[in-house]
Amino acid sequence: MPIWDHLITLQRDIEDIFNKNMVQYDEEHTQRFNQPGWINRTWKSDKFRRAHIDVVDARETKKLWMMHVCVFPQLQSGAPIYGFDVISGPTKITGAFHDFSPANLNDPALTYFADEVSQYTWGKQRELPDWARAIFSGNMVAAGNIQTDEELYRLTSLVIANTKWYVENMQVIDDMPSSYAHNKYAHYQKQNPHTPRTMKALGLDEQDVDFFVSKCLFPEII
């Protein structure tokens, strides 16, 4: 199966998990970015204040396909922030990033994630810049040049297993509100120059991309 087909199947599997455990809703700003070749969907529940899937499908024009998935737990949860990003050409995944990013360093989900990802190795590890090290866990998956069936299966299996576990096992506990940690995550994600640069290179409007990254991709709590 071609890489793009694998990733589109992965997208649908993640959407199925979200649909079974959360309620999809229309977010005011995000809905305007549902356009041909650009998909944005949001969900929420009593455990999660915002789950977002963003897909840019530029296979025909730029030979690239990109997906961003982020889940913020409810503020009183203390649970980590779920993230998965992937960008792929027709023959290889150039970048795949997956993490449970800590809001509370003592949350047991971080131990689960560390144990799961320790079972996998990647042919090409990506170096993380300073902005990424400020928010991601030390066990983050940062892989590039994924093109073999073995590595592709390894990635998709890991992401689906972790997505299912995260959505089904997170608990809302009476903890200190995590608004600072959530805003810190959003702030540093916006320091990533590759996100807007890549989206613009895929043919999306520059002003739309700047607004989208600031207000929809990584919204901060005011």
113 touches 137 (CB < 8 A): yes
Q: What confidence score (pLDDT) does residue 43 get?
A: 97
Q: What confidence score (pLDDT) does residue 170 get?
A: 86
Q: What confidence score (pLDDT) does residue 4 get?
A: 94
In a domain, 155, yes or no: yes
CATH code of 104's domain? 3.40.1500.20
Long-range contacts of 53-62 (CB under 8 A, 24+ apart): 53/11, 53/14, 53/15, 53/18, 54/216, 54/217, 55/11, 56/199, 56/202, 56/204, 58/202, 58/203, 59/4, 59/90, 61/37, 61/202, 61/203, 62/201, 62/202, 62/203
In a domain, 222, yes or no: no
In a domain, 220, yes or no: no
In a domain, 19, yes or no: yes
In a domain, 163, yes or no: yes
What's the mean pLDDT when you consider all of the chain? 91
Indicate whether 176 pLDDT > 70.
Answer: no
Indicate whether 194 pLDDT > 90.
Answer: no
Q: What confidence score (pLDDT) does residue 121 get?
A: 82
- pTM over the 0.75 mark: yes
142: domain range? 3-211
Query: What 3-state DSSP class applies to 215?
Result: helix
In a domain, 221, yes or no: no
Number of domains in the chain: 1
Residue 188's nearest CA partner among 151, 152, 150, 136 is 136
In a domain, 126, yes or no: yes
In a domain, 99, yes or no: yes
